[in-house]
Amino acid sequence: MYLEPRPGIAWPSPHLRELRDTVRALLGLDDDTAIVIRQLACGELGYPPLETVVEVLPMDGGIHRWTLRRPADEITEHCLRATLLHRWPI
């Protein structure tokens, strides 16, 4: 069965899907672990107008959250590796 987005609902961009897959691979996550990547407006003085939040929600509970102070389309695998692995529980 092929799912399509409801009218008016944006489908995730290929880059966001790629970021999600990179997060899954870097952290060694299984398919049951949810990964949410959101690009949000940032109103803090001295920061870029857009930031990207990465959340990992394991089935056993708890939320792991990282904020990258740049738009999602500027985030690379190198950037994710440096940010996520620095504070990832073992």
Q: pLDDT per position in the chain (90 positions), as tens?
A: 445 555 655 666 888 899 999 999 999 999 999 999 998 887 778 878 889 999 999 988 889 999 999 999 999 999 999 999 876 664
Helix (H, G, I), strand (E, B) or coil at 84: helix
Residue with structure tokens 């990282």? 66
Residue with structure tokens 């409801």? 6
Q: Look up the pTM and report it.
A: 0.79
